[in-house]
Amino acid sequence: DAGVIQSPRHEVTEMGQEVTLRCKPISGHDYLFWYRQTMMRGLELLIYFNNNVPIDDSGMPEDRFSAKMPNASFSTLKIQPSEPRDSAVYFCASTRDLPSYEQYFGPGTRLTVT
């Protein structure tokens, strides 16, 4: 298996622009997670999906952030409009429907908003 795939790996954008991050989970995994990692706040869970349905979005910082999972093999995280404080590494992870099963993380997208 190719693992969790994220694109782009790096994104530099100007404040106010729309940013879309993409994720392809591992085939057969029922759960998909979006995390944000910063030096100040560490690794934060933003939202997670089960069978393409959002289960918990309590970590989404504000209305500028939105996430979708139109099918089992694709998810997006959108920021509109972006702000400098959104600069972070965004990870996507997926796992199977087993409590003991570890999450497999993608390589992350490093977002810089200037």
State the minimum distance, in angstroms, from the CB of residue 102 to other proteins: 4
Site string for other proteins, 10-39 (x = CB under 8 A): ---------------------x-x------
Q: Please report how close the Cβ of residue 108 comes to other proteins at its closest, in angstroms.
A: 6
Instruction: Work out how close the CB of 34 gets to other proteins at its nearest, in angstroms, rounded to a whole number.
Output: 12
How many CA atoms does the CB half-sphere of 93 hold within 13 Å?
20
Q: Which residue has the tokens 């393409």?
A: 52
SS3 content of the chain, % helix, strand, coil (to 5): 5, 55, 45
